[in-house]
């Protein structure tokens, strides 16, 4: 379970998160939508202390940290509860595919090297990369790299996996592969927080959608509620702008 | 043994008189070496047969041996060679009348040529193929394209490298004092031994080299900003 | 000047001179190892912006970059005994010349290395660090497992150049009386008056060593680059 209370974050006097409260149940898939600069990435990064919030409480699993007095040790403990999939993959450039996945297991989880290799190979099979185990990241396509990124997160078996626009750096024809991998792990009951601009993903996969703007969560609800019956004007305008007309049609079909 | 601080200033005033010779020993080889460098770089890029091997050997050998060797070999070897020629063809050259600085300049020029050719070559290679094709597409010849499109970009990109070479050769010119040239280091050595104040004299010389280096790096920084202005713009 | 040129002597001198190669390599190895330590120590205040130390390192690097190695050699040779005597009443005037050379070259290498390390560490994409944190690594684990190995690859070509430059610079150690290859060459010249041949022999030895170093380094570089795209390494 994840619990955020009163998370505030400013960059050089500019408030980016203005007090975020959020509770996510185990196994929930939450997507975060919102215009550019609304603080989605910052919120995600506050969850694993890649950014240290100025105020507020972060809880993942049984680790509770008050961000105002967070110690290095506490931040590390939170990070060990979570894993992240980055927009630009951020694979370890000097390690092979399988080594990338093993790295966190060996270092953070203290798994024996042999077992780590075993587990990593299993996870890589799941994302369809069994044939690329000994390639270096530079020898892979963007879609393959991102699937390694997902495997790296998945292998740690964390309380939650954080995704920051995992498909937005990909060529359109590679997006499908990566999304279907994310979908399949979502169905395994792993808790996920996903920032994305892929409306179809938000609609089909998530249990809950958050809409953020100007550092606050404006509205939240099930995909149906948000996409079909948003209460807030801001949400409706955003959804209209981002998907034009094309998305209302299939939704109507779904509702009917 | 103590340090005589006021003497540093006295030494400084004396030694700085030798700066013109240091600058000659730096700038002349670099200018002459630049011409060699362009020629050698083009020979190597276009893989002109036969010449290409000589150019490779030249660059590799001169870059692979200490510059003091170049100075010494030419200092001792050139007079020998000239004497032989003079004897055979009855030219009547008197090698002991030739100023030593000439030998030093020749040696440093050959060394500079080898280093500069590498810089120019990598500069040319780094200018994209597309630039050459674009030049052809508007009807330029190979020579025109090289002259008007490729070289200007290559040289502008190489300014930091040229600065390093300049500073390197400024410092290398200090070796000339070993064949009794009265450039900055030579002058410092004289001031040092006459007054038996070695440390103070070399501190003064160090300050002179340091000052020139900082000056040159500053100028290069400004120059680079100006020359590569075309490289910026767009979105950022 | 010397006697008539004798080609055979060049070959004959080589075995005599090469016996002193060990001293040259000792100077090189010692000054590189000490230089590495110094370089790491100097890079830390720069990377972590530790006040005062940071400025001191900037000054140190600027001075070393700004002065010829010959001047640095003389400053250490004349200055170090004076300073040690003045501050700690330690008398090192009888210390062997080779130690002054090693100290100078270590100080000089340290400055160069610190800049190379700093640039290399900063060149590693920050996303790598974030990814390391995201899988639960500590700062230390991130530095040693993720950042450093990649920085080493980035730093390697520059380090290799530094080492080769340093090897060539050892040819100046004889100026303060070190009996290395150059020093032995000097005595050989005094004994035989065949200066040109001696310097040609020395050039050949230096060239062979430099080429060997280059071969080894390029092998190592290939190894370090094994995880880079093929087209990235092929450029060189
Ligand atoms: N490290 C930083 N330093 C200064 N300002 C920052 C930093 N990171 C983010 N910001 C600012 O915080 C605001 C929110 O940024 P954030 O990246 O969270 O937005 P986002 O919702 O993820 O946007 P996008 O959809 O474009 O990714 C922006 O105004 C941004 O300029
Ligand atoms: Mg973002």
Q: Which domains does chain C have, with CATH numbers?
A: 21-178 (1.10.3720.10)
Q: Is A53 in the pocket of ligand 1 (CB under 6 A)?
A: no
Residues of chain B with pLDDT under 70: 1, 138, 228-236
Rounded CA Rg of chain C: 22
Q: How far apart are CA A171 and CA A187, in angstroms?
A: 25
pLDDT for C10 equals 87
Identify whether A152 is part of a domain.
Answer: yes
pLDDT for C228 equals 67
* Residues in chain C within 8 Å Cβ distance of A88: 127
Task: Provide the percentage of residues in chain C whose pLDDT is more than 90.
Answer: 70
pLDDT exceeds cutoff 60 at A204:
yes
* Residues in chain C within 8 Å Cβ distance of A49: 133
Task: Provide the percentage of residues in chain A whose pLDDT is more than 90.
Answer: 70
DSSP A140: S
- Expressed as residue numbers, the domain containing A35 is 2-243
Identify whether A88 is part of a domain.
Answer: yes
Q: Which of C43, C5, C18 is nearest to C151 (CA)?
A: C43
Dihedral angle sign, alpha carbons of residues A118, A124, A126, A128 = negative
Identify whether B235 is part of a domain.
Answer: no
- Expressed as residue numbers, the domain containing B56 is 5-227
Task: Please count the residue pairs, one from chain B and one from chain C, whose beta carbons lie less than 8 angstroms apart.
Answer: 106
Q: Is A215 in the pocket of ligand 1 (CB under 6 A)?
A: no
Q: How confident is the model at residue A19 (pLDDT cuts 50, 70, 90)?
A: very high
Ramachandran region, residue C224 (left: φ > 0; alpha: ψ -120 to 50; beta: rest): alpha
At A94, give phi and psi (nearest 5°).
Answer: -95, 10
Q: Which H/E stretch holds residue B175?
A: none
- The residue contributing the CA closest to ligand 1 atom 2 is A11
pLDDT for B234 equals 43
B123 CA to chain C: closest CA distance, Å?
A: 12
Identify whether B232 is part of a domain.
Answer: no
pLDDT for C229 equals 57
* Residues in chain C within 8 Å Cβ distance of A109: 136
- Are B58 and B116 in contact, with CB atoms under 8 Å apart? no
Q: How confident is the model at residue A52 (pLDDT cuts 50, 70, 90)?
A: very high
DSSP A19: E
Say which ligand is closest to the CA of A164: 2
Q: How far apart are CA A249 and CA A235, in angstroms?
A: 18
Dihedral angle sign, alpha carbons of residues B83, B87, B89, B95 = positive
Between residues 34 and 63 of chain A, which touch chain C (CB distance below 8 Å)?
48-50
Give me the number of domains chain B comprises: 1
pLDDT exceeds cutoff 60 at C58:
yes
pLDDT for B229 equals 65
Q: pLDDT tens for residues C149-189? A: 999 889 999 999 999 999 999 999 999 989 999 999 999 99
pLDDT exceeds cutoff 70 at A248:
no
Once rounded to an integer, what is the mean pLDDT over residues C1-6? 64
**C81 shares contact with chain B (CB less than 8 Å):** yes
pTM here is 0.80
- Are C178 and C23 in contact, with CB atoms under 8 Å apart? yes
Once rounded to an integer, what is the mean pLDDT over residues A109-113? 92
Give me the number of domains chain A comprises: 1
DSSP A7: E
Once rounded to an integer, what is the mean pLDDT over residues A183-192? 90
Provide the CATH number for the domain around residue A70.
3.40.50.300
pLDDT for B230 equals 62
Token couple for A202: 């938000």
SS3 A211: strand
A202 CA to middle of ligand 2, Å?
16
Q: How far apart are CA B209 and CA C67, in angstroms?
A: 5
SS3 A15: strand
DSSP conformation letters of C165-204: HHHHHGGGGGGGT--SHHHHHHHHHHHH--HHHHHHHHHH
Identify whether A68 is part of a domain.
Answer: yes
């Amino acid at each position: 379970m994840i619990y955020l209370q009163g998370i505030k974050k400013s960059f050089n006097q500019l408030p980016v998160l203005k007090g975020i409260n959020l509770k996510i149940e185990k196994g929930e898939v939450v997507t975060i939508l919102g215009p550019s600069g609304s603080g989605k990435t910052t919120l995600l990064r506050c969850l694993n202390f890649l950014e240290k919030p100025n105020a507020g409480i972060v809880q993942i699993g049984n680790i509770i940290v008050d961000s105002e007095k967070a110690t290095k040790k506490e931040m590390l403990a939170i990070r060990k509860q979570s894993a992240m999939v980055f927009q630009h993959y951020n694979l370890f450039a000097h390690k092979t595919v399988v080594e990338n996945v093993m790295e966190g297991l060996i270092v953070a989880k203290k798994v024996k090297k042999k077992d780590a290799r075993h587990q990593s190979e299993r996870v890589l099979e799941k994302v369809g990369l069994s044939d690329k185990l000994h390639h270096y990241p530079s020898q892979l396509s963007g879609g393959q790299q991102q699937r390694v990124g997902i495997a790296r997160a998945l292998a740690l078996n964390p309380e939650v996996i954080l995704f920051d626009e995992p498909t937005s750096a990909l060529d359109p024809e590679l997006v499908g592969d990566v999304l279907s991998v994310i979908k399949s792990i979502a169905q395994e009951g792993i808790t996920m927080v996903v920032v994305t601009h892929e409306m179809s993903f938000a609609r089909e996969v998530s249990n809950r959608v958050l809409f953020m703007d100007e550092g606050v969560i404006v509205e939240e609800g099930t995909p149906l509620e948000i996409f079909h019956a948003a209460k807030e004007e801001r949400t409706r305008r955003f959804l209209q702008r981002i998907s034009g007309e094309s998305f209302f049609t299939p939704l109507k079909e779904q509702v009917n | 043994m103590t340090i005589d601080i006021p003497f540093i200033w006295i030494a400084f005033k004396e030694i700085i008189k030798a700066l013109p010779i240091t600058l000659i020993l730096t700038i002349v080889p670099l200018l002459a070496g630049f011409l060699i460098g362009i020629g050698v770089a083009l020979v190597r890029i276009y893989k002109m047969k036969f010449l290409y091997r000589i150019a490779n050997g030249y660059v590799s050998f001169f870059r692979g041996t200490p510059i003091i060797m170049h100075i010494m070999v030419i200092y001792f070897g050139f007079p020998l060679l000239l004497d032989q020629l003079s004897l055979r063809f009855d030219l009547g050259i008197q090698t002991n009348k030739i100023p030593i600085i000439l030998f030093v300049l020749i040696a440093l020029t050959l060394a500079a040529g080898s280093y500069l050719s590498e810089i120019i070559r990598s500069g040319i290679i780094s200018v994209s193929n597309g630039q050459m094709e674009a030049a052809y597409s508007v009807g330029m010849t190979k020579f025109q394209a090289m002259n008007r499109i490729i070289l200007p970009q290559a040289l502008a990109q190489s300014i930091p490298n040229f600065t390093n070479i300049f500073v390197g050769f400024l410092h290398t010119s200090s070796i000339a004092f070993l064949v009794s040239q009265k450039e900055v280091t030579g002058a410092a050595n004289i001031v040092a031994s006459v007054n038996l104040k070695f440390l103070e004299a070399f501190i003064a010389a160090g300050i002179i080299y340091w000052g020139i280096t900082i000056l040159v790096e500053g100028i290069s920084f400004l120059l680079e900003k100006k020359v590569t202005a075309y490289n910026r713009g767009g979105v950022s | 000047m010397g006697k008539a040129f004798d080609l055979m002597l060049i070959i004959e001198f080589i075995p005599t001179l090469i016996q002193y190669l060990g001293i040259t390599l000792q100077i090189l190895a010692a000054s590189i190892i000490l230089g590495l330590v110094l370089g790491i120590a100097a890079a830390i205040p720069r990377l972590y912006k530790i006040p005062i130390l940071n400025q001191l390192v900037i000054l140190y690097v600027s001075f070393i970059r700004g002065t010829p190695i010959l001047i640095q050699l003389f400053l250490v040779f004349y200055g170090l005994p004076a300073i040690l005597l003045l501050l700690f009443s330690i008398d090192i005037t009888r210390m062997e010349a080779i130690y002054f050379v090693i100290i100078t070259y270590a100080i000089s290498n340290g400055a160069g290395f610190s800049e190379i390390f700093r640039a290399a560490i900063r060149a590693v994409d920050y996303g790598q660090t974030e990814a390391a944190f995201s899988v639960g690594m500590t700062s230390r684990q991130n530095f040693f497992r993720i950042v450093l190995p990649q920085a080493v690859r980035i730093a390697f070509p520059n380090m290799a150049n530094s080492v080769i430059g340093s090897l060539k610079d050892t040819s100046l150690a004889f100026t303060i009386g070190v009996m290395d290859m150059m020093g032995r060459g000097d005595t050989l010249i005094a004994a035989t008056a065949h200066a040109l041949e001696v310097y040609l022999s020395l050039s050949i030895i230096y060239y062979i060593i430099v080429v060997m170093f280059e071969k080894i380094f390029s092998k190592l570089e290939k190894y370090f680059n094994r995880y880079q795209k093929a087209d990235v390494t092929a450029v060189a």
